[in-house]
Structure 1
């Protein structure tokens, strides 16, 4: 590099002397101006000379190796400037896009927060409604488990029996049971009290309360009354005893049924035979 600097200095010395010496007599130039190409060539040459002078003075003044730059440094600088300008524009666009995305993200976050707040409020309301519904269902189950209080029986025994019988016909076994039980308690010695016991046994039998049903049937057939319902009451007594796992008592009751009611309806006779099989009667 030092050798290149010395050679450049040697080449430039005459140019520098010419630049420093007094102006020589110049040959008159033609009046016609240079064409554009010549002007540009002269300008490029002057530019090269200036750069070479700067290089020489730099090496002379600093005593350091001279870094020779291409003559088109300014063009490269302009190109770099343009590229930097393009990069700045691109960066501005990217920054704008980032700002837009940041704004959109902020809006999305706010919307998400609002949606979460609404969701929490809805969940709270739903929880309150579920709690009310649970309380209502519990109350309904409790109400269903507790039979309603039966209406007060009429003071007239005939009306009281008719009301209890209507409950039974309507399938309201709970009220029918209560009404017939009240009748038996209030009117223990009327002509229809044994029949009331029979119907009371029916309401208990369909509810599979076989112990209470057996007691009601037993009270109904005491004395072996000759009524239309007596054979069926005796049969139901034996079936209740079978359900209570008292086959011996059931078989004795069936023997009395055949003895006391030899003309029982065919349906009663048929069910009595099947009950004997269930009780394993001899």
Structure 2
């Protein structure tokens, strides 16, 4: 009650003093500081009057709170809420990044494991291939040595021919090449060149085959194998993309060997068409 009486006395004093202040001559115009002070005083009077009326009407003690405290607390509460939301968002982003990093680490470890496994498989395959190559090299018999000059030429030719009949073209090629080198002046050397050309033609070594066939038909021998040698020479030239030379060879075939077997003449016609020879 004492507080109530003191507040009431203050209000009455201010109420009496305000008219007097209002009648006191003020500087004209009021400066900014005087106006602001007056506004503050009026605000205080209004607050005091509200406090007095509240105590009178309710009969309860009046609690005086500093002005604008609620607004400041509310502002601080809003800032705190904003900070909490920001912290929550950052924690969520951090958890997402941590999860992504864990997945990337696990993926990297899996890739490394697969790479190591592939390296091991590649090493095993390389070793297997090397072992197979070594075994194949050991299994291949060495080629027969070329016949020496002191050997029987007829026997050497017969051996080379048998290799050809057996389908061992690699060994037959070496045997006929050795015969040609060992017996360049033998009567069987042109035929050996022909069979040498056959082994080379089979493996599509057309340049080597053309040279062997050309050496075989030098002088245009009248033998059973000569027309076929000329035909194979023309076919080798077609394969070597020398159609003009092939056409000249086919013309010589028709002129030199008019009674060539029908199989030879039929293949010659086909080869002439491939070379686009003039009719």
Instruction: State the TM-score, normalized to the length of structure 2.
Output: 0.52
Match of 1:224 in 2: 220
Whether the 8 Å contact between 1:147 and 1:174 is mirrored in structure 2 is no
Match of 1:188 in 2: 184
Cα distance in 2 for partners of 1:147, 1:234 equals: 34
Cα distance in 2 for partners of 1:128, 1:248 equals: 53
Q: Does 1:149 align with 2:143?
A: yes
Q: 1:128 to 1:161 in 2, by over 3 A?
A: same
Whether the 8 Å contact between 1:214 and 1:241 is mirrored in structure 2 is yes
Q: Give unpaired runs (5+ residues) of structure 2.
A: 1-120
Cα distance in 2 for partners of 1:131, 1:252 equals: 52
Deviation string for 1:113-134 (max 9, x for gaps)? Answer: xxxxxxxxxxxxx999877644
1:222 shift after superposition: 0.3
Q: 1:159 to 1:281 in 2, by over 3 A?
A: same
| Structure number with larger C-alpha Rg | 1
Q: Give unpaired runs (5+ residues) of structure 1.
A: 1-125
Cα distance in 1 for partners of 2:123, 2:237 equals: 52
Q: 1:210 to 1:130 in 2, by over 3 A?
A: closer
Q: 1:237 aligns with which of 225, 233, 236?
A: 233
Match of 2:265 in 1: 269
Aligned residues: 156
1:188 shift after superposition: 0.5
Match of 1:5 in 2: none
Deviation string for 1:13-66 (max 9, x for gaps)? Answer: xxxxxxxxxxxxxxxxxxxxxxxxxxxxxxxxxxxxxxxxxxxxxxxxxxxxxx
